[in-house]
Amino acid sequence: MLGFFCRGTYTGNEEYRKMIQKRIRMWIWMIVAGIFTFAFAFMMQTYGKADAQEEMISLYEGFGVGLVGASIALIIKNKRLLKDEEKLRKARIAAADERNAEIAAKAMRIAMIVLLVGIYFVMLIGGLWHPELAWALSDLIGLFLIAYVVAYKIIAGRM
Amino acid sequence: MQTKIQKLRKERRITQSELADALDVTRQTIISLENGKYKASLVLAHKIAQYFETTIEEVFIFEEDENLC
């Protein structure tokens, strides 16, 4: 299965290698973000005066640890890939394969519909008890639609 | 869409993996093309035709009910 951000058109191993190196740098930034998230939650728990619930603090700490853990695992995986020319070639072909790209695009479209329907129902039902939830989710749907229109216009202009 | 890829490949005694490697696609893509489950892009169709030293029309069988819209 091809990951969300793994698709692209790579003509050779060198081009793909550069992209992997960029991706490793991105995961390093994710580790920084994870440490920051964890530290922020920890500081809020220890010194903070914010009216944050204990379970939310734990959730943020979990996000931070999860980001760091996942990033380290992905860095190790990608570093191994860089050392093995044959595995790199296979990964490049899988990432650039047009059938894989079409499958991923269709899966993404279905997941997006499920997500939007899910958000709609959570907004509709959850909003009865927590109106702020309905507002936040309707804003998210609005953001999604605006992002889609803007991205569509930009891409259409380039094609 | 039906194709003659399997026929051409067998005539030349090439395995699916070898063809996939030559075209820079996965073996699964070759399998799907041969089964008619996946329609190749123009670029891939061109690469396949070039590989077999023939024309796109010779490799891919365009059916009338596959409308152009």
Summarised one tens digit per residue, pLDDT across range A73-106 is: 999 999 999 998 889 988 999 988 999 999 999 9
Give domain B2-61's CATH superfamily. Answer: lambda repressor-like DNA-binding domains (1.10.260.40)
Closest chain B C-alpha to A7 CA, distance in angstroms: 13
In this prediction, residue A7 carries a pLDDT of: 65
Query: In chain B, which residues have pLDDT < 50?
Result: none
Q: What ipTM goes with this model?
A: 0.86
pLDDT tens, residue by residue, B18-35: 999 999 999 999 999 999
Closest chain B C-alpha to A81 CA, distance in angstroms: 18
Residues of A at the B interface, defined by Cβ within 8 angstroms: 93-94, 96-100, 102
Neighbours of B18 (CB within 10 A): 14
In this prediction, residue A2 carries a pLDDT of: 63
Residues of A in contact with B41 (CB under 8 A): 98
B7 close to B35: Cβ distance less than 8 angstroms: no
Q: Which residue of A has its CA nearest to B21?
A: A93
Residues A156 and A34: their CA atoms lie apart, in Å, by: 36
Query: In chain A, which residues have pLDDT < 50?
Result: none
Please judge whether A97 and B44 are an interchain contact, meaning their C-beta atoms are less than 8 angstroms apart.
no
Neighbours of A126 (CB within 10 A): 16
In this prediction, residue B18 carries a pLDDT of: 95
Structure tokens at B3: 């194709």
Closest chain A C-alpha to B46 CA, distance in angstroms: 14
Biggest CA-to-CA distance, chain B: 37
Domain boundaries along the sequence of chain A? 1-96, 97-159
Is the entire prediction scored with pTM above 0.80? no
**How many C-alpha atoms does A84 have within 13 Å on its Cβ side?**
12
The CA angle A31-A143-A125, to the nearest 5 degrees, is: 100
Domain boundaries along the sequence of chain B? 2-61
